[in-house]
Amino acid sequence: MVRNTLHSLLILMLFTCSALAQVPEWAKTNQHKKYPSSRFLLGVGLGKDKSAAVEAARADVARQIQVRIESELENVESEFRDGDRSYLKAEIVNRTKTVVTETIAGLEIAETQENKGQYYVLAVLNREKYLSGLEVQMEEVLQRTGQLVSGARELVQAGKVFGALTNYLDAQGVIPEFYTKSALYTALSGRKYPNVEQFTGAGILAESRAVLSNITLQSLAGNDQQCRAGEVLPQPLRVQVVYEGGTTPVGVAGFPLTVRYASGEQLLRRETDAQGMLEFTAVATPTDNIGQAGAIRVGLELQKVPEHLRDIVSRSEVVFSYSILKVKLTFAVTVVDQNNARQSAIEEDLVRAINENGFSVDPQAPYLVAGQVIVLNQKEIPTPSGKQFLVETRLQLNLKDTVSQKTLATVEATGKGLDLQTLDGALNKAFRNTKIPRNRLAAFLQSAAAGK
């Protein structure tokens, strides 16, 4: 019994040794005398057919390259600010896939062996041959990055900040390609590429942030004027967007600005000229609710600045103040609809606005603000949540001298109302939303003083 068992074990060992003897040595050890690891990167593949084994060998090399690149890139992310890391990570992931694919394309199938229906394939990458090609590619990336950064610096000094930002962003998009190629170079050669510190993603981002941090908005002319309400301020208002990070300050062209009254009403939105300036006129509209003073605020708009860089731009604004010269004017107010019915809600809004402009209201006043609000359009709108009602209206105000019956000025405004319940509800909302802008109403009322 014991003799039979020993005999069976001996036969099994001989069979196993015979089967193993048929498997290529390089498939078992991942080493080959003809392709030493100091000069070659080896990948082994096994498959039921030759093509499957080739793909497996390529995948083996790809896996090794992926691991080596990721290991070398572990420290790169720490160079970036928290808000920039997600951008970098996404770019490097995409570039890594491309670099790995390019590397696999340079593989050579060194040996193929078949044993009992199994194919063994050895794929090799000549390190030095591949590294020399990689060096050329990295120099091209550095050269392209250098051209973009140099161009950005020239544009900044010319006041063309948004053109410079485009260059910086393009450079930020290119540099991850250098990171991945450099990581592969180190992984294959065991040494750092000589020019690895010439440009860095963190450095390019820091430079673009430094440009934006040195942009300021400055007031040049137009502050502290005096004017009657509703009249155009005597002098134009002028501001300039300036880059102050160079040897001499330079105006920033094409920077969007928003101009608003202190009450919140937008006056205009416009970009600076080639010298970074914006000049505009404005109607003196009281914004202090007692009709004695007003202010206009000018601020930077950041829609042209990349979102991940907006936090660095100063949110300061320029404020122009002016005082209102007192003119005693009294108005009567009457507003009716197209059926000649009084609209008290609109009348109350007008009375409040007249008082805010520093004037008074009296039914016996020499000037009459006569208005009519009419329905321009009304319709039902089907929606997933049910039927809705939409009403559009127009309000026309006429300023009349009650003695001469002369019309001194006219102004119009439109309004919309949407209601889920009834058409009347939409109509009431449209009436409430029909308001004359403050600056236009101020100019409208001031026509009474001009007619005196």
Instruction: Please enumerate in sequence order all residues whose Cβ is within 8 A of that of 281, keeping only pairs 6 or more positions apart, or say none.
Output: 232, 233, 236, 237
pLDDT band with cut points at 50, 70 and 90 for residue 83 = low
* Contact indicator for 374, 337 with CB cutoff of 8 Å: yes
Cα 259 to chain centroid distance, Å, stands at: 21
Of 6-15, 65-74, 213-222, 436-445, the range with the lowest mean pLDDT is: 6-15
Walk across the sheet containing 330-337 and list its strands: 360-361, 330-337, 367-383, 386-401, 407-419
Q: Domains plus CATH for the chain? A: 18-150+163-193 (3.10.28.20), 214-325 (2.60.40.1930), 330-450 (3.30.160)
More confident site: 419 or 22: 419
Q: Is the pLDDT of residue 1 over 70?
A: no
- Which two structure tokens, joined as six digits, stand for 103? 């590397």
Q: pLDDT confidence of 212, banded at 50, 70, 90? A: very high
Residue 398 burial by CB count (10 A; 0-12/13-18/19+): exposed, middle or buried? middle
Cα–Cα distance between 276 and 424 in angstroms, integer? 51
Q: What is the rounded distance in angstroms from the CA atom of residue 54 to the CA atom of residue 155? A: 51
Q: Which of 156, 137, 148, 138 lies closest to 172 in space, CA to CA?
A: 148
- CA 186, CA 66: separation in Å to the nearest integer? 13
For residue 271, give both structure tokens. Answer: 């970009």
Task: Please work out, in degrees rounded to the nearest 5, the angle formed at the alpha carbon of residue 101 by the alpha carbons of 96 and 103.
Answer: 95
155-177 average pLDDT score: 92
| Rounded CA separation 251/218 (Å) | 10
For 296-329, the pLDDT digits (tens) are 999 999 999 998 889 899 888 999 999 988 888 8
pLDDT for the residue 10: 43
Lowest mean pLDDT of 63-67, 336-340, 412-416, name the range: 63-67
Q: List the single range of 81-85, 320-324, 376-380, 389-393 with lowest mean pLDDT.
A: 81-85
Reduce the DSSP state of residue 399 to 3 states and report it.
Answer: strand
Strand partners, 361: 331
Between CA 169 and CA 54, with CA 68 as vertex, the angle to 5 degrees is 110
5-14, 51-60, 222-231, range with the lowest pLDDT: 5-14
Lowest-pLDDT choice from 62-76, 133-147, 222-236, 332-346: 62-76
Compute CA distances 274 → 54, 288, 437, whole Å: 61, 35, 31
pLDDT at 336: 94
Token pair 């193929």: residue: 112
- Please answer whether residues 145 and 63 qualify as being in contact, where contact means their C-beta atoms are separated by less than 8 angstroms: no
Nearest-CA neighbor of 174 among 211, 207, 206, 137? 137
